[in-house]
Structure 1
Amino acid sequence: MSGTKVRTSGGHARTMGSVLSGLAVAVGCVLFLGGFIWGAALYRPYTVPTDSMAPTIGVGARVLAQQVDGSEVRRGDVVVFRDSVWGDVPMVKRVVGVGGDKVACCDAGGKLTVNGKPVEEPYLQGDGPASPVGFKAEVPKGQLFLLGDHRSDSMDSRVHLTDRDNGAVPRSAVDARVDANAWPVGSFGMLERPSGFSGLPGGISQPGPLRPIMAAIVAGAVLILGGAAYGPIVNRRRRARV
Protein backbone atom coordinates (compact mmCIF):
# COMPACT_ATOMS: atom_id res chain seq x y z
CA MET A 1 0.00 0.00 0.00
CA SER A 2 2.84 2.36 0.84
CA GLY A 3 4.13 2.02 -2.70
CA THR A 4 0.85 3.08 -4.35
CA LYS A 5 1.00 6.72 -5.38
CA VAL A 6 -1.74 9.27 -5.85
CA ARG A 7 -1.39 12.72 -7.37
CA THR A 8 -2.60 15.79 -5.56
CA SER A 9 -4.18 18.82 -7.22
CA GLY A 10 -0.78 20.50 -7.18
CA GLY A 11 0.77 17.67 -9.15
CA HIS A 12 2.81 16.27 -6.24
CA ALA A 13 2.85 12.50 -5.87
CA ARG A 14 1.98 11.07 -2.49
CA THR A 15 1.80 7.48 -1.39
CA MET A 16 -1.56 6.04 -0.46
CA GLY A 17 -0.16 5.38 3.00
CA SER A 18 0.63 9.05 3.57
CA VAL A 19 -2.84 10.05 2.40
CA LEU A 20 -4.45 7.59 4.80
CA SER A 21 -2.20 8.69 7.65
CA GLY A 22 -3.23 12.31 7.08
CA LEU A 23 -6.87 11.26 7.04
CA ALA A 24 -6.37 9.32 10.28
CA VAL A 25 -4.88 12.39 11.98
CA ALA A 26 -7.75 14.57 10.75
CA VAL A 27 -10.44 12.15 11.94
CA GLY A 28 -8.54 11.67 15.20
CA CYS A 29 -8.52 15.42 15.84
CA VAL A 30 -12.27 15.60 15.27
CA LEU A 31 -12.94 12.72 17.67
CA PHE A 32 -10.45 13.90 20.30
CA LEU A 33 -11.52 17.55 20.37
CA GLY A 34 -15.18 16.70 19.85
CA GLY A 35 -15.09 14.32 22.80
CA PHE A 36 -13.56 16.96 25.05
CA ILE A 37 -16.06 19.61 23.97
CA TRP A 38 -18.96 17.18 24.40
CA GLY A 39 -17.73 16.18 27.85
CA ALA A 40 -17.12 19.77 28.96
CA ALA A 41 -20.66 20.71 27.94
CA LEU A 42 -22.28 17.96 30.01
CA TYR A 43 -19.93 17.14 32.90
CA ARG A 44 -18.31 18.95 35.78
CA PRO A 45 -15.63 17.71 38.21
CA TYR A 46 -16.35 17.82 41.95
CA THR A 47 -14.16 17.04 44.95
CA VAL A 48 -15.68 15.07 47.83
CA PRO A 49 -13.96 16.35 51.01
CA THR A 50 -15.30 13.74 53.47
CA ASP A 51 -15.66 9.95 53.66
CA SER A 52 -19.47 10.09 53.97
CA MET A 53 -19.81 8.29 50.61
CA ALA A 54 -17.13 5.66 51.25
CA PRO A 55 -16.44 3.12 49.92
CA THR A 56 -18.23 4.28 46.75
CA ILE A 57 -16.35 7.59 46.78
CA GLY A 58 -13.31 8.03 48.98
CA VAL A 59 -12.33 11.12 50.96
CA GLY A 60 -10.68 13.71 48.71
CA ALA A 61 -11.76 11.90 45.55
CA ARG A 62 -12.65 13.72 42.34
CA VAL A 63 -15.83 12.69 40.56
CA LEU A 64 -17.38 13.49 37.19
CA ALA A 65 -21.02 14.52 37.43
CA GLN A 66 -23.45 15.09 34.59
CA GLN A 67 -25.47 18.28 34.85
CA VAL A 68 -29.11 17.20 35.04
CA ASP A 69 -32.44 18.64 36.06
CA GLY A 70 -33.70 17.46 39.42
CA SER A 71 -36.77 15.97 37.75
CA GLU A 72 -34.51 13.36 36.08
CA VAL A 73 -33.19 11.96 39.36
CA ARG A 74 -34.20 8.46 40.45
CA ARG A 75 -33.70 6.37 43.59
CA GLY A 76 -30.16 5.07 43.85
CA ASP A 77 -28.58 8.03 42.06
CA VAL A 78 -25.60 9.76 43.66
CA VAL A 79 -26.21 13.48 43.27
CA VAL A 80 -24.45 16.78 43.82
CA PHE A 81 -26.80 19.29 45.45
CA ARG A 82 -26.82 22.55 47.36
CA ASP A 83 -29.33 23.39 50.09
CA SER A 84 -29.31 26.28 52.56
CA VAL A 85 -30.50 24.12 55.47
CA TRP A 86 -27.57 21.74 54.91
CA GLY A 87 -24.97 24.54 54.74
CA ASP A 88 -25.43 25.94 51.21
CA VAL A 89 -22.27 24.25 49.86
CA PRO A 90 -22.09 21.49 47.24
CA MET A 91 -22.69 18.07 48.84
CA VAL A 92 -22.71 14.53 47.47
CA LYS A 93 -25.25 11.96 48.73
CA ARG A 94 -27.33 9.05 47.45
CA VAL A 95 -31.05 9.35 46.77
CA VAL A 96 -32.98 6.63 48.62
CA GLY A 97 -36.46 8.13 48.54
CA VAL A 98 -38.52 10.38 46.27
CA GLY A 99 -41.77 12.27 46.77
CA GLY A 100 -44.48 10.09 48.29
CA ASP A 101 -42.09 7.40 49.56
CA LYS A 102 -42.11 6.12 53.11
CA VAL A 103 -38.48 5.51 54.04
CA ALA A 104 -37.54 3.63 57.22
CA CYS A 105 -34.72 1.73 58.85
CA CYS A 106 -34.15 -0.82 59.88
CA ASP A 107 -36.28 -3.92 59.35
CA ALA A 108 -35.67 -7.25 61.11
CA GLY A 109 -32.89 -8.00 58.65
CA GLY A 110 -31.17 -4.66 59.23
CA LYS A 111 -32.15 -3.28 55.82
CA LEU A 112 -33.46 0.05 54.64
CA THR A 113 -37.09 -0.14 53.51
CA VAL A 114 -38.88 2.01 50.94
CA ASN A 115 -42.67 1.75 51.06
CA GLY A 116 -42.26 -1.34 53.21
CA LYS A 117 -39.95 -3.14 50.76
CA PRO A 118 -36.39 -3.98 51.91
CA VAL A 119 -33.66 -2.64 49.63
CA GLU A 120 -30.37 -4.41 48.91
CA GLU A 121 -27.52 -1.92 49.30
CA PRO A 122 -24.21 -3.64 48.43
CA TYR A 123 -22.44 -0.28 48.25
CA LEU A 124 -22.65 0.37 52.01
CA GLN A 125 -19.60 0.73 54.22
CA GLY A 126 -19.35 -2.21 56.64
CA ASP A 127 -21.48 -5.30 57.21
CA GLY A 128 -23.83 -4.01 59.90
CA PRO A 129 -27.36 -2.65 59.59
CA ALA A 130 -28.19 -0.08 56.92
CA SER A 131 -28.17 2.63 59.61
CA PRO A 132 -26.73 2.62 63.14
CA VAL A 133 -29.77 4.65 64.27
CA GLY A 134 -33.37 3.92 63.41
CA PHE A 135 -35.50 6.44 61.55
CA LYS A 136 -38.61 6.79 59.44
CA ALA A 137 -39.87 9.56 57.21
CA GLU A 138 -42.45 10.28 54.55
CA VAL A 139 -40.92 12.21 51.67
CA PRO A 140 -42.95 15.24 50.56
CA LYS A 141 -43.89 15.65 46.91
CA GLY A 142 -41.09 17.11 44.79
CA GLN A 143 -38.46 16.25 47.44
CA LEU A 144 -35.60 13.77 47.79
CA PHE A 145 -34.45 11.80 50.84
CA LEU A 146 -30.64 11.56 50.82
CA LEU A 147 -28.20 9.32 52.68
CA GLY A 148 -24.45 8.76 52.58
CA ASP A 149 -23.05 5.29 51.90
CA HIS A 150 -20.95 5.46 55.07
CA ARG A 151 -24.01 5.60 57.31
CA SER A 152 -22.10 5.80 60.59
CA ASP A 153 -20.18 8.88 59.42
CA SER A 154 -22.61 10.82 57.23
CA MET A 155 -24.53 13.99 57.98
CA ASP A 156 -27.59 13.44 55.82
CA SER A 157 -31.40 13.47 55.82
CA ARG A 158 -31.43 11.57 59.12
CA VAL A 159 -29.81 14.53 60.86
CA HIS A 160 -32.30 17.00 59.35
CA LEU A 161 -35.49 15.05 60.08
CA THR A 162 -36.84 17.80 62.33
CA ASP A 163 -35.47 20.77 60.38
CA ARG A 164 -37.75 20.80 57.33
CA ASP A 165 -39.76 18.43 55.14
CA ASN A 166 -38.71 15.35 57.13
CA GLY A 167 -35.07 15.85 56.19
CA ALA A 168 -35.71 15.92 52.45
CA VAL A 169 -34.41 18.49 49.96
CA PRO A 170 -36.17 19.90 46.88
CA ARG A 171 -35.42 18.30 43.50
CA SER A 172 -34.49 21.80 42.36
CA ALA A 173 -31.49 21.70 44.73
CA VAL A 174 -29.80 19.07 42.53
CA ASP A 175 -27.01 20.36 40.29
CA ALA A 176 -25.66 17.11 38.85
CA ARG A 177 -25.65 13.31 38.98
CA VAL A 178 -22.34 11.51 39.57
CA ASP A 179 -21.40 9.09 36.80
CA ALA A 180 -17.80 8.18 37.61
CA ASN A 181 -14.82 8.37 39.92
CA ALA A 182 -12.05 10.31 38.19
CA TRP A 183 -9.29 10.58 40.83
CA PRO A 184 -7.22 9.00 42.29
CA VAL A 185 -6.28 6.93 39.25
CA GLY A 186 -6.74 3.62 41.05
CA SER A 187 -10.40 4.39 41.73
CA PHE A 188 -11.24 5.51 38.18
CA GLY A 189 -14.42 3.91 36.90
CA MET A 190 -18.15 4.26 36.33
CA LEU A 191 -20.60 4.24 39.23
CA GLU A 192 -23.04 1.40 38.71
CA ARG A 193 -26.74 2.08 39.15
CA PRO A 194 -27.90 -0.04 42.15
CA SER A 195 -30.37 -2.73 41.12
CA GLY A 196 -31.94 -2.77 44.61
CA PHE A 197 -34.19 0.15 43.62
CA SER A 198 -35.09 -1.15 40.15
CA GLY A 199 -38.29 -2.88 41.30
CA LEU A 200 -39.77 0.32 42.72
CA PRO A 201 -42.03 2.66 40.68
CA GLY A 202 -39.95 4.79 38.30
CA GLY A 203 -37.07 2.30 38.30
CA ILE A 204 -33.48 3.50 38.14
CA SER A 205 -31.83 6.03 35.87
CA GLN A 206 -29.60 5.20 32.92
CA PRO A 207 -25.94 6.24 32.87
CA GLY A 208 -25.05 9.42 31.01
CA PRO A 209 -22.94 9.47 27.82
CA LEU A 210 -19.58 9.38 29.61
CA ARG A 211 -18.57 6.02 28.11
CA PRO A 212 -19.02 7.10 24.46
CA ILE A 213 -17.32 10.40 25.27
CA MET A 214 -14.28 8.59 26.67
CA ALA A 215 -14.32 6.16 23.73
CA ALA A 216 -14.25 9.08 21.28
CA ILE A 217 -11.33 10.72 23.11
CA VAL A 218 -9.30 7.49 23.29
CA ALA A 219 -10.03 6.57 19.65
CA GLY A 220 -9.06 10.07 18.56
CA ALA A 221 -5.77 9.91 20.46
CA VAL A 222 -4.94 6.51 18.90
CA LEU A 223 -5.66 7.77 15.38
CA ILE A 224 -3.61 10.93 15.89
CA LEU A 225 -0.61 9.04 17.27
CA GLY A 226 -0.88 6.30 14.67
CA GLY A 227 -1.20 8.71 11.76
CA ALA A 228 1.62 10.93 13.02
CA ALA A 229 3.91 7.92 13.48
CA TYR A 230 3.44 6.71 9.89
CA GLY A 231 5.99 9.08 8.29
CA PRO A 232 8.90 8.41 10.69
CA ILE A 233 8.29 4.64 10.50
CA VAL A 234 8.29 4.62 6.68
CA ASN A 235 11.43 6.79 6.52
CA ARG A 236 13.23 4.51 8.96
CA ARG A 237 12.37 1.47 6.84
CA ARG A 238 13.59 3.20 3.71
CA ARG A 239 16.91 4.05 5.35
CA ALA A 240 17.23 0.47 6.54
CA ARG A 241 16.85 -0.82 2.96
CA VAL A 242 19.52 1.54 1.58
Structure 2
Amino acid sequence: MSGAVRTGDGHGRAGRVLSGLAVAVGCVLFLGGFAWGAVLYQPYTVPTDSMAPTIGRGDRVLAERIDGAAVRRGDVVVFEDKVWGKVPMVKRVVAVGGDKVACCDRGGHLTVNGEPVEEPYLADKGPASPTAFTSTVPTGQLFLLGDHRMSSLDSRVHLSDSDHGSVPRGAVKARVDATAWPMKSFGMMPRPAAFEALPGGTSQPGPLRLVVISVVAGAVLILGGAAYGPIARRMGRRGRGGTAAVEGGGARV
Protein backbone atom coordinates (compact mmCIF):
# COMPACT_ATOMS: atom_id res chain seq x y z
CA MET A 1 0.00 0.00 0.00
CA SER A 2 1.45 3.42 -0.86
CA GLY A 3 0.84 6.84 0.78
CA ALA A 4 0.47 10.04 -1.30
CA VAL A 5 0.87 13.57 0.08
CA ARG A 6 -1.91 15.81 -1.23
CA THR A 7 -2.72 19.43 -0.58
CA GLY A 8 -6.24 20.86 -0.59
CA ASP A 9 -7.20 23.38 -3.24
CA GLY A 10 -9.08 25.68 -0.82
CA HIS A 11 -6.14 28.05 -0.57
CA GLY A 12 -5.84 28.04 -4.35
CA ARG A 13 -9.46 29.06 -4.81
CA ALA A 14 -9.11 31.80 -2.20
CA GLY A 15 -5.96 33.05 -3.92
CA ARG A 16 -7.70 33.21 -7.28
CA VAL A 17 -10.61 35.14 -5.77
CA LEU A 18 -8.27 37.60 -4.06
CA SER A 19 -6.17 38.07 -7.19
CA GLY A 20 -9.29 38.76 -9.24
CA LEU A 21 -10.47 41.23 -6.63
CA ALA A 22 -7.06 42.96 -6.64
CA VAL A 23 -7.18 43.33 -10.43
CA ALA A 24 -10.76 44.67 -10.30
CA VAL A 25 -9.95 47.23 -7.59
CA GLY A 26 -6.73 48.11 -9.39
CA CYS A 27 -8.62 48.82 -12.61
CA VAL A 28 -11.04 51.09 -10.76
CA LEU A 29 -8.19 53.04 -9.12
CA PHE A 30 -6.05 53.17 -12.27
CA LEU A 31 -8.76 54.18 -14.74
CA GLY A 32 -10.56 56.32 -12.17
CA GLY A 33 -7.34 58.18 -11.37
CA PHE A 34 -6.69 58.88 -15.04
CA ALA A 35 -10.28 60.04 -15.58
CA TRP A 36 -10.16 62.23 -12.47
CA GLY A 37 -6.89 63.78 -13.60
CA ALA A 38 -8.20 64.37 -17.13
CA VAL A 39 -11.24 66.22 -15.77
CA LEU A 40 -9.29 68.41 -13.33
CA TYR A 41 -5.98 68.96 -15.10
CA GLN A 42 -4.72 70.12 -18.47
CA PRO A 43 -1.14 69.87 -19.75
CA TYR A 44 0.56 72.94 -21.20
CA THR A 45 3.94 73.46 -22.83
CA VAL A 46 5.61 76.74 -21.89
CA PRO A 47 7.25 78.14 -25.06
CA THR A 48 9.41 80.87 -23.48
CA ASP A 49 11.82 81.31 -20.58
CA SER A 50 9.80 84.15 -18.99
CA MET A 51 9.07 81.94 -15.95
CA ALA A 52 12.61 80.60 -15.56
CA PRO A 53 14.00 79.15 -13.38
CA THR A 54 10.63 78.03 -11.95
CA ILE A 55 9.51 76.79 -15.38
CA GLY A 56 11.98 76.48 -18.24
CA ARG A 57 11.47 76.98 -21.95
CA GLY A 58 9.74 73.89 -23.37
CA ASP A 59 8.76 72.50 -19.95
CA ARG A 60 5.50 70.58 -19.74
CA VAL A 61 3.29 71.60 -16.82
CA LEU A 62 0.06 70.26 -15.32
CA ALA A 63 -2.46 72.97 -14.53
CA GLU A 64 -5.64 72.52 -12.52
CA ARG A 65 -8.75 73.96 -14.14
CA ILE A 66 -10.07 76.56 -11.69
CA ASP A 67 -12.35 79.55 -11.54
CA GLY A 68 -10.61 82.91 -11.49
CA ALA A 69 -12.18 83.68 -8.11
CA ALA A 70 -9.96 80.99 -6.55
CA VAL A 71 -6.70 82.70 -7.58
CA ARG A 72 -4.43 84.00 -4.82
CA ARG A 73 -1.22 86.03 -4.79
CA GLY A 74 1.78 83.89 -5.62
CA ASP A 75 -0.14 81.51 -7.90
CA VAL A 76 1.34 80.63 -11.28
CA VAL A 77 -1.60 80.71 -13.68
CA VAL A 78 -2.47 80.02 -17.29
CA PHE A 79 -4.60 82.79 -18.79
CA GLU A 80 -5.76 84.29 -22.07
CA ASP A 81 -6.44 87.96 -22.62
CA LYS A 82 -7.16 89.66 -25.95
CA VAL A 83 -5.04 92.68 -25.01
CA TRP A 84 -2.06 90.37 -24.42
CA GLY A 85 -2.54 88.49 -27.69
CA LYS A 86 -5.34 85.97 -27.02
CA VAL A 87 -2.93 83.04 -26.62
CA PRO A 88 -2.34 80.95 -23.45
CA MET A 89 0.29 82.58 -21.24
CA VAL A 90 1.87 81.50 -17.95
CA LYS A 91 2.72 84.16 -15.35
CA ARG A 92 2.75 84.63 -11.57
CA VAL A 93 0.06 86.63 -9.78
CA VAL A 94 1.74 89.20 -7.53
CA ALA A 95 -1.21 91.46 -6.74
CA VAL A 96 -5.01 91.34 -6.81
CA GLY A 97 -7.84 93.88 -7.04
CA GLY A 98 -7.38 96.79 -4.62
CA ASP A 99 -3.63 96.22 -4.15
CA LYS A 100 -1.01 98.86 -4.80
CA VAL A 101 1.99 97.11 -6.32
CA ALA A 102 5.31 98.88 -6.85
CA CYS A 103 8.98 98.28 -7.49
CA CYS A 104 11.41 98.71 -6.16
CA ASP A 105 12.04 99.73 -2.55
CA ARG A 106 15.51 100.56 -1.21
CA GLY A 107 16.26 96.88 -0.85
CA GLY A 108 15.29 96.16 -4.44
CA HIS A 109 12.09 94.35 -3.42
CA LEU A 110 8.66 94.28 -4.99
CA THR A 111 6.13 95.82 -2.59
CA VAL A 112 2.43 95.05 -2.21
CA ASN A 113 0.49 97.65 -0.22
CA GLY A 114 3.82 98.96 1.04
CA GLU A 115 5.03 95.58 2.29
CA PRO A 116 8.24 94.20 0.74
CA VAL A 117 7.93 90.73 -0.74
CA GLU A 118 10.79 88.24 -0.70
CA GLU A 119 10.85 86.41 -4.03
CA PRO A 120 13.33 83.49 -3.88
CA TYR A 121 12.02 82.13 -7.18
CA LEU A 122 13.41 85.02 -9.26
CA ALA A 123 16.00 84.25 -11.93
CA ASP A 124 18.00 87.43 -11.30
CA LYS A 125 19.74 88.27 -8.02
CA GLY A 126 19.42 92.02 -8.47
CA PRO A 127 16.31 94.20 -8.06
CA ALA A 128 12.92 92.55 -8.44
CA SER A 129 12.46 94.51 -11.68
CA PRO A 130 15.01 96.26 -13.90
CA THR A 131 12.42 99.00 -14.50
CA ALA A 132 10.56 100.92 -11.79
CA PHE A 133 6.75 100.85 -11.80
CA THR A 134 3.69 101.55 -9.67
CA SER A 135 0.12 100.38 -10.24
CA THR A 136 -3.13 100.18 -8.34
CA VAL A 137 -4.94 97.02 -9.41
CA PRO A 138 -8.63 97.55 -10.26
CA THR A 139 -11.25 95.42 -8.49
CA GLY A 140 -11.66 92.00 -10.06
CA GLN A 141 -8.28 92.20 -11.82
CA LEU A 142 -4.88 90.51 -11.41
CA PHE A 143 -1.36 91.89 -11.80
CA LEU A 144 0.99 89.32 -13.32
CA LEU A 145 4.76 89.10 -13.65
CA GLY A 146 7.16 86.49 -14.98
CA ASP A 147 9.87 85.09 -12.70
CA HIS A 148 12.53 86.03 -15.27
CA ARG A 149 12.00 89.77 -14.91
CA MET A 150 14.73 90.68 -17.41
CA SER A 151 12.98 88.95 -20.32
CA SER A 152 9.31 88.59 -19.32
CA LEU A 153 6.68 90.59 -21.19
CA ASP A 154 4.05 91.00 -18.49
CA SER A 155 1.88 93.56 -16.69
CA ARG A 156 4.74 96.07 -16.73
CA VAL A 157 4.49 96.28 -20.53
CA HIS A 158 0.75 97.04 -20.35
CA LEU A 159 0.79 99.72 -17.62
CA SER A 160 -0.57 102.32 -20.01
CA ASP A 161 -3.65 100.19 -20.79
CA SER A 162 -7.00 101.12 -19.27
CA ASP A 163 -6.64 98.35 -16.65
CA HIS A 164 -3.15 99.48 -15.58
CA GLY A 165 -1.46 96.31 -16.82
CA SER A 166 -3.85 93.89 -15.11
CA VAL A 167 -6.09 91.17 -16.53
CA PRO A 168 -9.58 90.09 -15.41
CA ARG A 169 -9.86 87.12 -13.04
CA GLY A 170 -12.11 85.55 -15.65
CA ALA A 171 -9.15 85.36 -18.04
CA VAL A 172 -7.56 82.65 -15.88
CA LYS A 173 -8.03 79.14 -17.25
CA ALA A 174 -5.96 77.09 -14.83
CA ARG A 175 -3.40 77.16 -12.00
CA VAL A 176 -0.08 75.34 -12.42
CA ASP A 177 0.28 72.56 -9.86
CA ALA A 178 3.33 70.69 -11.11
CA THR A 179 6.05 70.40 -13.72
CA ALA A 180 5.72 67.05 -15.51
CA TRP A 181 8.59 67.24 -18.00
CA PRO A 182 11.58 67.11 -18.23
CA MET A 183 12.19 64.58 -15.48
CA LYS A 184 14.90 66.72 -13.85
CA SER A 185 12.25 69.40 -13.24
CA PHE A 186 9.49 66.98 -12.22
CA GLY A 187 7.70 68.03 -9.03
CA MET A 188 4.95 70.02 -7.38
CA MET A 189 4.85 73.79 -7.75
CA PRO A 190 5.77 75.32 -4.35
CA ARG A 191 3.55 78.03 -2.88
CA PRO A 192 5.69 81.08 -1.98
CA ALA A 193 5.59 81.90 1.72
CA ALA A 194 6.07 85.64 1.11
CA PHE A 195 2.37 86.17 0.31
CA GLU A 196 0.93 84.19 3.25
CA ALA A 197 0.76 87.18 5.58
CA LEU A 198 -1.22 89.29 3.11
CA PRO A 199 -5.05 89.29 3.20
CA GLY A 200 -6.40 86.18 1.50
CA GLY A 201 -3.19 84.23 2.06
CA THR A 202 -2.02 81.71 -0.52
CA SER A 203 -3.83 78.89 -2.27
CA GLN A 204 -3.55 75.21 -1.43
CA PRO A 205 -2.30 72.64 -3.98
CA GLY A 206 -4.94 70.74 -5.92
CA PRO A 207 -5.55 66.99 -5.63
CA LEU A 208 -2.74 66.02 -8.04
CA ARG A 209 -0.93 63.96 -5.40
CA LEU A 210 -4.09 61.92 -4.78
CA VAL A 211 -4.52 61.41 -8.52
CA VAL A 212 -0.96 60.09 -8.83
CA ILE A 213 -1.37 57.84 -5.76
CA SER A 214 -4.58 56.41 -7.23
CA VAL A 215 -2.95 55.62 -10.58
CA VAL A 216 0.19 54.09 -9.03
CA ALA A 217 -1.76 52.03 -6.48
CA GLY A 218 -4.05 50.78 -9.25
CA ALA A 219 -1.09 49.74 -11.39
CA VAL A 220 0.49 47.85 -8.47
CA LEU A 221 -2.74 45.98 -7.71
CA ILE A 222 -3.28 45.08 -11.37
CA LEU A 223 0.27 43.77 -11.80
CA GLY A 224 0.20 41.96 -8.45
CA GLY A 225 -3.16 40.32 -9.14
CA ALA A 226 -2.18 39.33 -12.68
CA ALA A 227 1.09 37.83 -11.44
CA TYR A 228 -0.67 35.52 -8.98
CA GLY A 229 -1.75 32.99 -11.64
CA PRO A 230 1.72 32.25 -13.11
CA ILE A 231 3.31 32.20 -9.65
CA ALA A 232 0.63 29.84 -8.28
CA ARG A 233 1.03 27.47 -11.26
CA ARG A 234 4.79 27.39 -10.84
CA MET A 235 4.45 26.69 -7.13
CA GLY A 236 1.89 23.99 -7.94
CA ARG A 237 4.29 22.25 -10.34
CA ARG A 238 6.99 22.30 -7.70
CA GLY A 239 4.53 20.87 -5.17
CA ARG A 240 3.51 18.04 -7.51
CA GLY A 241 7.16 17.22 -8.09
CA GLY A 242 7.66 16.88 -4.36
CA THR A 243 4.57 14.67 -4.06
CA ALA A 244 5.86 12.38 -6.76
CA ALA A 245 9.14 12.02 -4.94
CA VAL A 246 7.34 11.04 -1.71
CA GLU A 247 5.20 8.50 -3.58
CA GLY A 248 8.20 6.96 -5.27
CA GLY A 249 10.20 6.59 -2.08
CA GLY A 250 7.36 5.50 0.25
CA ALA A 251 7.58 2.26 2.30
CA ARG A 252 5.64 -0.77 1.14
CA VAL A 253 3.62 -2.95 3.57
Shorter chain as normaliser: what TM range? over 0.9
Structure 1 residue aligned with 2:25, among 27, 35, 39?
Answer: 27
CA drift of 1:30 comes to 0.3
Q: 2:236 corresponds to which residue? A: 238
More strand by share: 1
Secondary structure, aligned partner of 2:164: helix
AA aligned opposite 1:76: G
- For the Cα contact (< 8 Å) 1:99–1:140, is it kept in 2? yes
- For the Cα contact (< 8 Å) 2:124–2:149, is it kept in 1? no
CA drift of 1:3 comes to 6.1
Q: 1:179 corresponds to which residue? A: 177
> How many percent identity over aligned positions?
72
Give the Cα separation in 2 of the matches to 1:100 and 1:82: 22
CA drift of 1:186 comes to 1.9
- For the Cα contact (< 8 Å) 1:3–1:16, is it kept in 2? no
Q: 2:213 corresponds to which residue? A: 215
Give the 3 Å change call, closer, same or farther, for CA 3–170 of structure 1 in structure 2.
Answer: farther
CA drift of 1:128 comes to 1.4
AA aligned opposite 1:216: S
Give the 3 Å change call, closer, same or farther, for CA 4–197 of structure 1 in structure 2.
Answer: farther
Secondary structure, aligned partner of 2:31: helix
CA drift of 1:197 comes to 0.2
Structure 1 residue aligned with 2:157, among 138, 152, 159?
Answer: 159
Q: 1:111 corresponds to which residue? A: 109
CA drift of 1:163 comes to 2.0
Give the Cα separation in 2 of the matches to 1:44 and 1:3: 52
Q: TM-score, normalised by structure 1?
A: 0.93
Matched, 1:141 2:146: no
Structure 1 residue aligned with 2:10, among 5, 22, 30?
Answer: 5
Q: 2:71 corresponds to which residue? A: 73
| Runs of 5+ consecutive residues of structure 1 not aligned to the other structure | 7-13
Following TM superposition, the consecutive aligned residue runs of length 4 or more in structure 1 with deviations greater than 4 angstroms are: none
CA drift of 1:17 comes to 1.5
* Bigger Cα displacement from structure 2, 177-186 vs 150-159: 177-186
CA drift of 1:122 comes to 1.0
Structure 1 residue aligned with 2:187, among 176, 185, 189?
Answer: 189
Kindly provide the CA deviation profile for residues 34-86 of structure 1, in whole angstroms up to 9, marking residues without a partner as x: 00111111111111000000111110111111111111100000000000110
Structure showing greater Rg: 2
